[in-house]
Amino acid sequence: MTQLARKLRITDYFSLGWGAMIGVGWLVVMDDWLARGGPLGALLGFALGGALLLPIGYVYGQLVAAMPDAAGEVAYTARAFASTRVSYATGWMMLLAYFIVCPWEAVAIGKIAAFIFPALDRYALYRMGGRPVYLPHLAFGLALIVAVGALNYRGIRSSATFQNWITFSVLALCALFVGLGGAHGSRANFPPLFSHSPFLSVLLVLQIVPYFMTGFEAVGKASEEAMQEFRARDFLRAMWAAILVGILFYTAMVAAVAYAAPWRSLIGESFVTAVAFERAVGARWIVNFILGVALLALLKCFNANFVAATRLLFALGRRSLIAPGTGAIHAVNRTPYVAVGLVALATALAMLLGQAILVPITEVGSVAAALGWLAACASWYRIRASAGQRLVAAAGILIATTLVLMKLLPFVPGHFSAYEWVALLCWIALGAALRFTAPAQARAAAEP
């Protein structure tokens, strides 16, 4: 098996897991969260959804310790079910969960930059979903893709150092501006606490939590790159830390925005979080401060998901589930350079869809992530004989299945729209086509 560079520590894994989880959703789509659930509905949705992920996080911690493989869910399902079809389908869906974040962030950087510099909203090239796609927005997104791609081509240590600095900077700066808003807001801004009935409000938010909490399991995709002295139990510690800090971050952000300004007056505004704090503090400088923090968060989220997506694509190639050339490693940098180039190119192409992709991506990404979690928990259930561990795995299976069904069943409020079904089916068709790039001998060896 070809070897990646082994240079990562537990801090790097926390930064990777939390960084992949927290991007700029708290700025870009806060209005969608509040419209779905209201302040208390959104807060409870993220708190409940995050807590439900702890059993799944435990299962992943055990799987990664037992099988430190960049293939992640592909390796787990292959071990448990001895099925090439199951492992490939699982890996392909999980790749979507990571990859789909990359064009999301590439689009978001242009939107944030244009809010700071309105002159960037010019030179519309075309329209997608009724929204214009501006040349400066594309330029910012392409620059981000090239920069992150080059960073990951150079080596995992460079990528991890970059990730660590930005992760802890974002945590500190967010705590600062949340404190500033708390000093100027009012509890009177919270009502009404729910946008619909309490149950429906929480349900509508709970449906999108998998997308915004996806990332903790990215730790497994870089598990081959741990330092020689790394302790296997630290994989679980890094994942649980990422989940717990993620819950705290999202709930604190929702509460802070609702405390800063009446939330119903914010619906329809661009960058609701920044607008709410501007109204609370009464000064424009805090808007630019928050947008600066958001740009840092965007960089770390893009980088973390880029790392996870490239490692998973690399692992598919290394196992000859797709073209083996995808599993090539750079002779000097010890990075999966072919996978890095392919993910960067695919991100650039997807980014051309513009802002119309933001909310649908959230929905499709939620299902893709939950399907991956379901497969991982089912694998651990089959592998382990311990009654206690099987009970935890069963809880994870139930939770992940519920998260999937909430989006797929047509009678559940907030289920997939036609656009989201089309996006999901297109990804499945692409995966089926790429399967034929695998060597004929490898495909013939698959079970009938």
- For the chain, domains (ranges, CATH) are 10-443 (1.20.1740.10)
Nearest by Cα to 26 from 215, 291, 299: 291
Say which residues have a Cβ less than 8 Å from residue 407's Cβ, sequence separation at least 6.
207, 363, 366, 367, 370, 414, 415, 416, 420
Q: What is the rounded CA–CA span in Å between residue 123 and residue 219?
A: 40
Q: What is the rounded CA–CA span in Å between residue 365 and residue 305?
A: 12
Residue with the two structure tokens 């907030």: 414
CB atoms under 10 Å from CB of 423, counted, come to 21
User: pTM for the full model?
Assistant: 0.88
Q: Are 400 and 377 in contact (CB under 8 A)?
A: yes
CA atoms lying within 13 Å on the CB side of residue 40: 13
First to last CA, the chain: 26
pLDDT at 1: 47
Q: What is the rounded CA–CA span in Å between residue 57 and residue 307?
A: 19
Rg of the Cα trace of the chain?
Answer: 21
pLDDT at 77: 95
Q: Are 308 and 101 in contact (CB under 8 A)?
A: no
CA distances to 75, 204, 209, 375, 401 from 404, in Å: 22, 13, 11, 12, 5
Tens of each residue's pLDDT in the chain, 448 residues = 457 888 899 999 999 999 988 888 888 889 999 999 999 999 999 999 999 899 999 999 999 999 999 889 999 999 999 888 999 999 999 999 899 889 888 888 888 888 888 888 888 888 887 788 889 999 999 999 999 999 999 888 888 899 999 999 999 988 888 887 778 888 899 999 999 999 999 999 988 888 788 889 999 999 999 998 999 999 999 999 999 999 999 999 999 999 999 999 888 887 889 899 988 888 888 888 888 888 889 899 999 999 999 999 999 999 999 999 998 998 888 889 999 999 999 999 988 887 766 666 667 888 898 899 999 999 999 988 688 889 999 999 999 999 899 888 888 877 888 888 888 888 999 999 998 888 866 655 555 4
Tokens, residue 130: 């009724």
